[in-house]
Every structure is written in C-alpha cells, then in structure tokens.
Chains A and B, each alone.
Chain A
Amino acid sequence: MHMNPFLVATFGGVLIGLSAIVLMAALGSIAGVSGIAGSLISGGVSGRAWRMAFLLGLLAGPTILWLVFGDSGIGVPQVGLPWMALAGLLVGVGTGIGGGCTSGHGVCGVARLSRRSLLATAVFMVCGVFTVYVIRHLLGGL
C-alpha cells in the first residue's frame, strides 16, 4: 500500500498534537519530553507516576506498531557510538538549560505563540542545519 509520505507525516504530527491536547486537558501539563523526563531526574516534583506513565507510553508506542503491523518505524543510527554519546550529552544539557526541546518549545510553545519558544525553536533549527552542513558538506561526513 502506497500512501503519500507527506500525508502520513502530517497525520503523525496530528497524533502528536492530540497527545499534547490530552495531556493539557487532563493534567494541565505541556507535553514536553525533556521537561517531563528532566523533572523526574532533578526530583522533588509531585506527579512522578503520571510522568513515568507518559514516558512508558512513548517508549512502547513504536513497539506496539511493530507487534500489530510488523513495522516499528525505528531507524538505525547514522553515526558511531562516540558521536551518539556526545550528541546525547549536548541534547541533554542544551534542553535542560534552555527549558525545552522539539516538543516543549517546538510544538507546545509555538502553538501557544510563546516568544521564548519561537526564538528557541528558530535557534535550535538553525544550529541543527549549520551542524549538518559542517559535517556533511565541509567535513564530508563523520
């Protein structure tokens, strides 16, 4: 079965939006993955149980797709282990001090037209594009 990839991508985005609406309507919270996971690590917040449940659902989602349709949609890493380790550290520190990631700033914050989130999203997009440009077109790949 061939479906337009852009239609499928848009539908995926709509599901993410529904996820954010459900979390706000039921628990009054932004669906920001770095915020939800980070607050579990820094500790001291109430609502640990539902945060764990949200992350569990996120983790289980693709596996359920695999069980039902035979395809989890999970792709393979594109860079070696040391680069993966460095990338993880930068993403963790960056989203930790910047107060959000692609979901918290990029989806929920932009949807609220938050000035901070619009700026953060522009900055991480530009830095991501710049990094890929340097790696692929100046260095010739990692």
Chain B
Amino acid sequence: MKIMTALMSGLLFGWGLSLGGMTQPAVVLGFLDIFGRWDPRLAFVMGGAVATTALGYRWVLRRPQPLFEDCFRVPSLRHIDGRLIGGAALFGIGWGIAGYCPGPALASLGGGSLSVAVLLATMILGWWLAARLLPAQRNLVQPASKDHRRTS
C-alpha cells in the first residue's frame, strides 16, 4: 500500500507539472524573465499548489499519525543560516540558466532528450557532493507539533 500510494502521489505530481507547463523550460524561463516577455503561468501553478497543500495539511496534520507510518516527519529546523541562503542562491542560478528544477527535470526524462539526461546526471552528482561536503542537518524527525496547529 505504501508503494502504491507513493506511486499515485508521484503520478499526480507529474501530471500537475506537465499540465502546468513546468516540463517546458521555455515557460519556466519565461516566468523568470520579468524584464522581458513575462509568462505568469508558473505563479498560477505555485498558487494552486500552495493553496491546495495549505488547506490539505491543516486537515491532515490534525490527525494523530499518517495512515502507514508512526509519525509525521515534518522539518524541524528553524534557524536561518548561510547554508540555507547560499544553497537557495546556487539553486536559483542553476534554475535560471536552464529552466529545470528537480521535479520537472525528472518528469522530462521520458521525452528522450540526451541533454535532459545529462542535466539529471549532474544534478545527482550535485546531491552526492552536497551530502559528502555538508552532511545533512538533524531534520525531519519532528512529529507534527504545535506550530502546525497554530494556523488551525
């Protein structure tokens, strides 16, 4: 059941990216090009996704635990540091060069483009390097806590 549910979740994600135009780097770069011919579609995708998730999480995180696991593994880190900002900055630069973030890159692999496969390969190399150079911080161990209920 875990595997079938995760597969379904992945499919929904892939369909959403495709319908939203996010598997077209031209649309993504068009969104980032606010000083040129701006394509606002990505904002609608993000808006729809954030609003849906926010509503759904309010309901889900009120439950004692997920269906198939012992607890909700919601990120517990709270502090702002150079790692967060520097990482996001490097990601933004890479995103602006080619117009692919991790989800759309993976979802675009089925299109059979060699250069998408190369981008995915260097992305995997990047994750490996990041994990070696800066091991993961303690995170994702916190059961749903007060701060998630604050909004409800």
Chain A interface (Cβ within 8 Å of chain B)? 5-6, 8-31, 33-35, 37-38, 41-42, 47, 49-51, 53-66, 72-81, 83-99, 101-103, 105-116, 119-121, 123-133, 135-137, 142
Contact = CB atoms under 8 A, between A and B. Distances in A.
Contact of B26 (A11, A50, A78): A78
Contacts of B106: 33, 37, 55, 58-59
A96 B7 CA distance: 23
A6 B42 CA distance: 9
Contacts of B73: 28-30
A9 B45 contact: yes
Contact of B97 (A13, A34, A59, A90): A90
A116 to B, nearest CB: 6
Interface string B115-142: 1101111111111111101101101100
A59 B107 contact: yes
What is the predominant secondary structure among interface residues of chain B facing chain A?
helix
Contact of A92 (B8, B18, B107, B130): B130
Contacts of B11: 57-58, 60-61, 64
Contact of B71 (A13, A14, A28, A34): A28
A42 B128 contact: yes
Contacts, number: 508
Interface residues of B, number: 122
Given A12-B45, A96-B130, A97-B130, A62 B108 contact: yes
Given A5-B41, A92-B126, A99-B84, A16 B49 contact: yes
A26 B110 contact: no
Interface of B: 1-27, 29, 32-36, 40-42, 44-57, 60-61, 63, 65-75, 77-80, 83-103, 105-111, 113-116, 118-131, 133-134, 136-137, 139-140, 148, 151
A138 B12 CA distance: 38
A112 B89 contact: no
Contacts of A102: 46, 95, 101-103
A22 B5 contact: yes
A122 to B, nearest CB: 8
A110 to B, nearest CB: 5
Nearest to A46: B69
Contacts of B25: 75-78
Contact of A137 (B35, B90, B128, B136): B35
25 contacts: A9-B19, A9-B20, A12-B16, A12-B45, A15-B15, A18-B52, A28-B65, A34-B102, A41-B131, A49-B3, A50-B6, A62-B14, A62-B108, A66-B110, A74-B110, A85-B118, A87-B98, A88-B94, A88-B121, A90-B91, A91-B91, A99-B139, A109-B75, A127-B93, A136-B35
